[in-house]
Structure 1
Protein backbone atom coordinates (compact mmCIF):
# COMPACT_ATOMS: atom_id res chain seq x y z
CA UNK A 1 0.00 0.00 0.00
CA UNK A 2 1.17 3.55 -0.71
CA UNK A 3 2.16 5.88 2.14
CA UNK A 4 -1.23 7.65 2.20
CA UNK A 5 -2.98 4.35 2.99
CA UNK A 6 -5.03 4.21 -0.23
CA UNK A 7 -4.88 1.13 -2.38
CA UNK A 8 -3.75 1.67 -6.00
CA UNK A 9 -5.21 -1.63 -7.27
CA UNK A 10 -7.38 -1.48 -10.38
CA UNK A 11 -9.46 -4.53 -9.51
CA UNK A 12 -11.33 -5.46 -6.34
CA UNK A 13 -10.14 -9.04 -5.87
CA UNK A 14 -13.21 -10.01 -3.82
CA UNK A 15 -15.91 -8.80 -6.22
CA UNK A 16 -14.08 -8.53 -9.57
CA UNK A 17 -15.25 -4.91 -9.82
CA UNK A 18 -12.98 -2.64 -11.86
CA UNK A 19 -11.89 0.31 -9.73
CA UNK A 20 -11.02 3.78 -10.89
CA UNK A 21 -7.88 5.59 -9.82
CA UNK A 22 -8.90 8.76 -8.03
CA UNK A 23 -6.70 11.34 -6.40
CA UNK A 24 -8.34 12.16 -3.09
CA UNK A 25 -5.94 14.99 -2.24
CA UNK A 26 -7.44 18.32 -1.24
CA UNK A 27 -6.50 19.88 -4.62
CA UNK A 28 -8.57 17.45 -6.65
CA UNK A 29 -12.16 18.39 -7.38
CA UNK A 30 -14.73 15.73 -6.49
CA UNK A 31 -15.64 13.46 -9.42
CA UNK A 32 -19.06 13.81 -10.94
CA UNK A 33 -21.06 11.15 -12.70
CA UNK A 34 -22.16 11.58 -16.31
CA UNK A 35 -25.52 13.25 -16.87
CA UNK A 36 -26.42 10.99 -19.79
CA UNK A 37 -29.65 9.07 -19.39
CA UNK A 38 -29.08 5.34 -19.54
CA UNK A 39 -26.22 3.58 -21.23
CA UNK A 40 -23.77 5.65 -23.25
CA UNK A 41 -20.81 4.98 -25.51
CA UNK A 42 -18.32 6.76 -27.70
CA UNK A 43 -17.94 7.50 -31.40
CA UNK A 44 -15.14 8.54 -33.72
CA UNK A 45 -15.32 12.30 -34.32
CA UNK A 46 -13.14 11.95 -37.43
CA UNK A 47 -15.29 9.29 -39.09
CA UNK A 48 -18.62 10.92 -38.18
CA UNK A 49 -17.39 14.27 -39.54
CA UNK A 50 -16.40 12.47 -42.77
CA UNK A 51 -19.95 11.10 -42.96
CA UNK A 52 -21.42 14.58 -42.44
CA UNK A 53 -19.39 16.36 -45.15
CA UNK A 54 -21.34 17.50 -48.20
CA UNK A 55 -19.28 15.42 -50.64
CA UNK A 56 -19.57 12.20 -48.61
CA UNK A 57 -22.56 10.91 -50.56
CA UNK A 58 -24.33 10.07 -47.28
CA UNK A 59 -27.80 11.59 -47.03
CA UNK A 60 -29.54 12.75 -43.88
CA UNK A 61 -31.78 9.67 -43.96
CA UNK A 62 -28.74 7.38 -44.30
CA UNK A 63 -27.14 9.12 -41.33
CA UNK A 64 -30.32 8.62 -39.29
CA UNK A 65 -30.51 4.93 -40.26
CA UNK A 66 -26.84 4.51 -39.35
CA UNK A 67 -27.24 6.00 -35.87
CA UNK A 68 -30.48 4.14 -35.16
CA UNK A 69 -28.79 0.82 -35.96
CA UNK A 70 -25.69 1.99 -34.07
CA UNK A 71 -27.71 2.52 -30.91
CA UNK A 72 -29.60 -0.74 -31.41
CA UNK A 73 -26.23 -2.51 -31.77
CA UNK A 74 -25.71 -2.05 -28.03
CA UNK A 75 -29.33 -2.37 -26.95
CA UNK A 76 -30.18 -5.58 -28.81
CA UNK A 77 -27.27 -6.57 -31.07
CA UNK A 78 -28.44 -4.58 -34.11
CA UNK A 79 -31.61 -3.81 -36.03
CA UNK A 80 -33.35 -4.80 -39.24
CA UNK A 81 -34.25 -2.30 -41.96
CA UNK A 82 -37.94 -2.75 -41.06
CA UNK A 83 -37.31 -1.87 -37.41
CA UNK A 84 -35.33 1.22 -38.47
CA UNK A 85 -38.04 2.23 -40.97
CA UNK A 86 -40.80 1.91 -38.36
CA UNK A 87 -38.87 3.98 -35.82
CA UNK A 88 -37.65 6.66 -38.25
CA UNK A 89 -40.85 7.02 -40.29
CA UNK A 90 -39.22 5.94 -43.56
CA UNK A 91 -40.40 3.37 -46.08
CA UNK A 92 -39.07 -0.14 -45.62
CA UNK A 93 -37.84 -0.24 -49.25
CA UNK A 94 -35.82 2.97 -48.88
CA UNK A 95 -34.40 1.83 -45.54
CA UNK A 96 -33.35 -1.52 -47.00
CA UNK A 97 -31.58 0.26 -49.88
CA UNK A 98 -29.82 2.63 -47.44
CA UNK A 99 -28.78 -0.23 -45.13
CA UNK A 100 -27.47 -2.26 -48.07
CA UNK A 101 -25.37 0.70 -49.27
CA UNK A 102 -24.04 1.34 -45.76
CA UNK A 103 -23.09 -2.35 -45.49
CA UNK A 104 -21.34 -2.27 -48.87
CA UNK A 105 -19.24 0.65 -47.63
CA UNK A 106 -18.47 -1.13 -44.31
CA UNK A 107 -20.44 1.30 -42.11
CA UNK A 108 -22.69 -1.63 -41.21
CA UNK A 109 -21.80 -5.22 -40.51
CA UNK A 110 -24.28 -8.06 -40.93
CA UNK A 111 -25.06 -9.21 -37.39
CA UNK A 112 -27.51 -11.94 -38.38
CA UNK A 113 -29.35 -13.24 -41.43
CA UNK A 114 -32.58 -15.24 -41.21
CA UNK A 115 -33.89 -15.99 -44.69
CA UNK A 116 -34.05 -12.63 -46.45
CA UNK A 117 -34.17 -10.64 -43.21
CA UNK A 118 -30.85 -9.03 -42.34
CA UNK A 119 -29.98 -7.60 -38.94
CA UNK A 120 -27.32 -4.87 -39.17
CA UNK A 121 -24.92 -3.58 -36.55
CA UNK A 122 -22.66 -0.53 -36.69
CA UNK A 123 -18.96 -0.77 -37.44
CA UNK A 124 -16.80 -0.75 -34.29
CA UNK A 125 -14.58 1.73 -36.16
CA UNK A 126 -17.29 4.39 -35.73
CA UNK A 127 -19.40 3.73 -32.62
CA UNK A 128 -18.73 1.60 -29.57
CA UNK A 129 -19.58 1.12 -25.95
CA UNK A 130 -16.85 -1.45 -25.36
CA UNK A 131 -13.67 -0.97 -23.37
CA UNK A 132 -10.67 0.23 -25.37
CA UNK A 133 -9.03 -3.19 -25.60
CA UNK A 134 -12.28 -4.97 -26.52
CA UNK A 135 -13.06 -2.35 -29.16
CA UNK A 136 -9.55 -2.70 -30.64
CA UNK A 137 -9.95 -6.47 -30.90
CA UNK A 138 -13.37 -6.20 -32.56
CA UNK A 139 -12.28 -3.42 -34.94
CA UNK A 140 -9.21 -5.40 -36.01
CA UNK A 141 -11.52 -8.06 -37.44
CA UNK A 142 -13.22 -5.64 -39.88
CA UNK A 143 -12.16 -3.34 -42.72
CA UNK A 144 -12.36 0.43 -42.28
CA UNK A 145 -15.51 2.08 -43.67
CA UNK A 146 -15.21 3.83 -47.04
CA UNK A 147 -17.04 7.14 -47.55
CA UNK A 148 -18.97 6.44 -50.80
CA UNK A 149 -18.72 9.95 -52.33
CA UNK A 150 -14.93 10.06 -52.28
CA UNK A 151 -12.30 8.19 -54.24
CA UNK A 152 -9.63 6.25 -52.36
CA UNK A 153 -6.93 8.69 -53.55
CA UNK A 154 -8.82 11.64 -52.06
CA UNK A 155 -9.18 9.87 -48.71
CA UNK A 156 -5.48 9.09 -48.46
CA UNK A 157 -4.41 12.69 -49.01
CA UNK A 158 -6.71 14.00 -46.28
Structure 2
Protein backbone atom coordinates (compact mmCIF):
# COMPACT_ATOMS: atom_id res chain seq x y z
CA UNK A 1 0.00 0.00 0.00
CA UNK A 2 1.54 3.30 -1.04
CA UNK A 3 1.43 6.24 1.27
CA UNK A 4 -0.94 8.93 0.08
CA UNK A 5 -0.06 12.55 0.58
CA UNK A 6 -2.68 14.40 2.58
CA UNK A 7 -3.27 18.11 2.29
CA UNK A 8 -4.16 19.89 5.51
CA UNK A 9 -6.21 23.09 5.55
CA UNK A 10 -6.58 25.83 8.11
CA UNK A 11 -9.97 27.15 9.29
CA UNK A 12 -10.20 29.44 6.20
CA UNK A 13 -9.62 26.62 3.70
CA UNK A 14 -6.05 27.67 2.91
CA UNK A 15 -3.65 24.74 2.43
CA UNK A 16 -1.10 24.38 5.22
CA UNK A 17 2.41 23.63 3.95
CA UNK A 18 3.84 20.28 5.02
CA UNK A 19 7.46 19.18 5.21
CA UNK A 20 9.07 15.82 4.65
CA UNK A 21 10.96 14.23 7.51
CA UNK A 22 14.23 16.07 7.98
CA UNK A 23 16.21 13.25 9.56
CA UNK A 24 18.81 13.28 6.80
CA UNK A 25 17.89 9.90 5.34
CA UNK A 26 15.81 6.88 6.16
CA UNK A 27 14.35 6.56 9.64
CA UNK A 28 13.38 3.58 11.76
CA UNK A 29 10.73 2.97 14.36
CA UNK A 30 11.17 0.78 17.40
CA UNK A 31 9.15 -0.75 20.20
CA UNK A 32 9.80 1.35 23.30
CA UNK A 33 8.58 -1.39 25.63
CA UNK A 34 10.60 -4.23 24.10
CA UNK A 35 13.80 -2.30 23.36
CA UNK A 36 13.53 -0.64 26.76
CA UNK A 37 13.27 -4.07 28.41
CA UNK A 38 16.43 -5.16 26.59
CA UNK A 39 18.33 -2.02 27.64
CA UNK A 40 17.12 -2.14 31.24
CA UNK A 41 17.92 -5.83 31.77
CA UNK A 42 21.75 -5.93 31.89
CA UNK A 43 21.78 -9.39 33.47
CA UNK A 44 20.19 -10.90 30.35
CA UNK A 45 21.94 -9.00 27.56
CA UNK A 46 25.59 -7.97 27.35
CA UNK A 47 26.62 -4.54 26.13
CA UNK A 48 27.85 -6.13 22.88
CA UNK A 49 24.48 -7.88 22.36
CA UNK A 50 22.60 -4.62 22.92
CA UNK A 51 24.91 -2.89 20.44
CA UNK A 52 24.24 -5.57 17.80
CA UNK A 53 20.46 -5.37 18.40
CA UNK A 54 20.46 -1.59 18.05
CA UNK A 55 22.63 -1.79 14.93
CA UNK A 56 20.13 -4.16 13.32
CA UNK A 57 17.16 -1.97 14.34
CA UNK A 58 18.67 1.16 12.83
CA UNK A 59 20.23 -0.44 9.74
CA UNK A 60 17.19 -2.54 8.83
CA UNK A 61 16.10 -1.90 5.23
CA UNK A 62 12.49 -2.83 6.07
CA UNK A 63 10.36 -5.16 8.15
CA UNK A 64 11.68 -8.71 7.69
CA UNK A 65 14.15 -7.55 5.04
CA UNK A 66 17.61 -8.93 5.80
CA UNK A 67 20.76 -6.87 5.97
CA UNK A 68 22.88 -8.27 3.17
CA UNK A 69 26.34 -7.87 4.65
CA UNK A 70 28.88 -10.49 5.68
CA UNK A 71 29.68 -11.18 9.33
CA UNK A 72 33.06 -9.52 8.84
CA UNK A 73 31.46 -6.31 7.50
CA UNK A 74 28.95 -6.18 10.36
CA UNK A 75 31.63 -6.98 12.98
CA UNK A 76 33.77 -4.10 11.69
CA UNK A 77 30.78 -1.72 11.76
CA UNK A 78 29.86 -2.72 15.33
CA UNK A 79 33.45 -2.87 16.59
CA UNK A 80 33.70 -6.51 17.67
CA UNK A 81 35.37 -9.63 16.28
CA UNK A 82 33.70 -11.87 13.74
CA UNK A 83 33.78 -14.78 16.19
CA UNK A 84 32.11 -12.72 18.93
CA UNK A 85 29.47 -11.56 16.44
CA UNK A 86 28.77 -15.18 15.42
CA UNK A 87 28.17 -16.13 19.10
CA UNK A 88 25.94 -13.09 19.63
CA UNK A 89 23.90 -13.79 16.50
CA UNK A 90 23.40 -17.42 17.56
CA UNK A 91 22.17 -16.25 20.99
CA UNK A 92 19.86 -13.59 19.51
CA UNK A 93 18.52 -16.03 16.91
CA UNK A 94 17.65 -18.50 19.69
CA UNK A 95 15.57 -15.74 21.31
CA UNK A 96 13.91 -14.78 17.97
CA UNK A 97 15.40 -11.29 18.18
CA UNK A 98 17.27 -11.87 14.91
CA UNK A 99 15.67 -13.94 12.17
CA UNK A 100 17.51 -15.81 9.40
CA UNK A 101 16.00 -14.42 6.20
CA UNK A 102 18.04 -15.82 3.34
CA UNK A 103 21.53 -16.79 2.33
CA UNK A 104 24.09 -16.60 -0.42
CA UNK A 105 26.55 -19.48 -0.46
CA UNK A 106 27.61 -20.04 3.14
CA UNK A 107 26.59 -16.54 4.27
CA UNK A 108 23.28 -16.28 6.12
CA UNK A 109 21.53 -12.92 6.21
CA UNK A 110 19.55 -11.80 9.26
CA UNK A 111 16.73 -9.35 9.94
CA UNK A 112 15.59 -7.81 13.20
CA UNK A 113 12.27 -9.07 14.54
CA UNK A 114 9.45 -6.77 13.38
CA UNK A 115 8.28 -6.79 17.02
CA UNK A 116 11.39 -4.74 17.86
CA UNK A 117 11.51 -2.29 14.98
CA UNK A 118 12.35 -1.56 11.38
CA UNK A 119 11.58 0.73 8.49
CA UNK A 120 8.30 0.87 6.63
CA UNK A 121 4.68 1.70 7.13
CA UNK A 122 2.46 0.47 9.94
CA UNK A 123 0.75 -1.88 7.49
CA UNK A 124 4.15 -3.33 6.50
CA UNK A 125 4.90 -3.96 10.17
CA UNK A 126 1.47 -5.51 10.77
CA UNK A 127 1.98 -7.90 7.85
CA UNK A 128 5.47 -8.82 9.07
CA UNK A 129 4.31 -9.48 12.63
CA UNK A 130 1.67 -11.90 11.38
CA UNK A 131 4.36 -14.19 9.98
CA UNK A 132 6.67 -14.52 13.02
CA UNK A 133 6.50 -15.27 16.72
CA UNK A 134 7.41 -12.54 19.21
CA UNK A 135 10.97 -12.46 20.50
CA UNK A 136 11.86 -13.95 23.85
CA UNK A 137 12.88 -11.15 26.19
CA UNK A 138 13.38 -12.61 29.69
CA UNK A 139 11.96 -10.73 32.63
CA UNK A 140 9.15 -9.10 30.69
CA UNK A 141 5.47 -9.82 30.42
CA UNK A 142 4.93 -8.06 27.09
CA UNK A 143 2.02 -9.63 25.27
CA UNK A 144 2.11 -10.34 21.50
CA UNK A 145 0.84 -7.45 19.42
CA UNK A 146 -2.81 -7.47 18.38
CA UNK A 147 -2.90 -7.71 14.60
CA UNK A 148 -6.65 -8.02 14.15
CA UNK A 149 -8.85 -6.06 11.80
CA UNK A 150 -7.76 -2.60 10.75
CA UNK A 151 -9.41 0.15 8.76
CA UNK A 152 -7.83 0.86 5.38
CA UNK A 153 -7.56 4.66 5.41
CA UNK A 154 -7.76 4.96 1.64
CA UNK A 155 -11.03 3.06 1.22
CA UNK A 156 -12.37 3.13 4.80
CA UNK A 157 -13.07 -0.61 4.54
CA UNK A 158 -12.22 -3.10 7.22
CA UNK A 159 -9.56 -5.66 6.42
CA UNK A 160 -9.43 -9.06 8.05
CA UNK A 161 -6.53 -10.56 9.96
Q: TM-score, normalised by structure 1?
A: 0.73
Moved more, 21-30 or 66-75: 21-30
Deviation at 1:56, TM superposition (A): 5.4
Give the structure 1 partner of residue 128 of structure 2: 138
In 2, the alpha carbon distance for the partners of 1:156 and 1:46 equals: 8
Q: Over aligned residues, Cα RMSD in angstroms?
A: 2.9
- Kept after mapping to 2: 8 A contact 1:70/1:122: yes
For the pair shown, which has the larger CA radius of gyration, 1 or 2? 1
Tell me the alpha carbon deviations over residues 79-135 of structure 1, each in whole angstroms, 9 at most, x when there is no partner. 443222111220111111101111110111112233442211111111122211121
- What is the correspondence of 1:5-16 to structure 2 with a 5 Å cutoff? none
> Does 1:125 find its partner at 2:112?
no
More helix by share: 1
> Does 1:107 find its partner at 2:94?
no
- Kept after mapping to 1: 8 A contact 2:30/2:57: no
In 1, the alpha carbon distance for the partners of 2:105 and 2:25 equals: 33
Tell me the alpha carbon deviations over residues 2-55 of structure 1, each in whole angstroms, 9 at most, x when there is no partner. xxxxxxxxxxxxxx8712242333699754443311011211101110111135
Give the structure 1 partner of residue 150 of structure 2: none
SS state at 1:54 partner: coil
In 1, the alpha carbon distance for the partners of 2:37 and 2:121 equals: 24
In 1, the alpha carbon distance for the partners of 2:96 and 2:54 equals: 14
Q: TM-score, normalised by structure 2?
A: 0.72
Give the structure 1 partner of residue 59 of structure 2: 72
